[in-house]
A and B are shown apart, each in its own frame.
Chain A
């Protein structure tokens, strides 16, 4: 069965600092992987997705993610966080199975 684990429930970073959100998945074949962002009271917005090919995927808002098959991971990164990045981030596989999310807080 497919499953997604986001080990970090809440992360706080300083504005301008780098960010990495972790995602581990369980899937029998090559997965479709997604990262979504959800701002308070809003629906989910797709940041990026991986289907095949280059394992480093670029997304919107300066985000990128790297697919590592050997580690069953698809971590999300951003080199410099902005205050507007504060939100809930969800990793998904399939695309029907979502992780529980990581809440990102940004401090000045």
Chain B
């Protein structure tokens, strides 16, 4: 069974440019998570989807970040415009459902903003 797929794996952009990350969760997983992991820190939840609905986006900086999960499968996270402080690893994870279910993580997208 394929795991969580993320692309690109690495991205280098200049500040003020837009950037997008793509995530394909494990087939059948209804819950999808986007996390940001700063260097030397643990993952911090940005947004959680239950199927197509964003049920927890309180930590998403909505002035520059947006996310969507069309048809309850793939998801895209966008930053526009990017700032220097957005340099981090963006992790996508999925689970069968929320709560006690195990999350399966993708390899992440490492973003560097210059």
Contact = CB atoms under 8 A, between A and B. Distances in A.
A34 B56 CA distance: 20
Contact of B42 (A41, A51, A95, A98): A98
Contacts of B104: 46
Interface in B59-114: 91, 93, 99-108
Given A42-B107, A43-B4, A43-B107, A90 B40 contact: no
Given A4-B42, A46-B104, 16 more contacts: A36-B105, A41-B107, A42-B108, A43-B4, A43-B91, A43-B106, A43-B108, A44-B91, A90-B43, A95-B103, A96-B56, A97-B45, A98-B43, A98-B44, A99-B42, A100-B41
Contacts of B103: 44, 46, 95
Interface of A: 4, 32, 34, 36, 41-46, 49, 51, 90, 92, 95-101
Contacts of A46: 102-104
B42 to A, nearest CB: 3
A49 B107 CA distance: 21
Contacts, number: 50
Contacts of B108: 42-43
Nearest to B101: A95
A44 B44 contact: no
A87 B80 CA distance: 33
A86 to B, nearest CB: 16
Interface in B16-52: 33, 40-45, 48
Nearest to B56: A96
A46 to B, nearest CB: 5
Given A100-B40, A101-B41, A101-B42, A32 B107 contact: no
B37 to A, nearest CB: 9
A78 B42 CA distance: 22
A32 B95 CA distance: 15
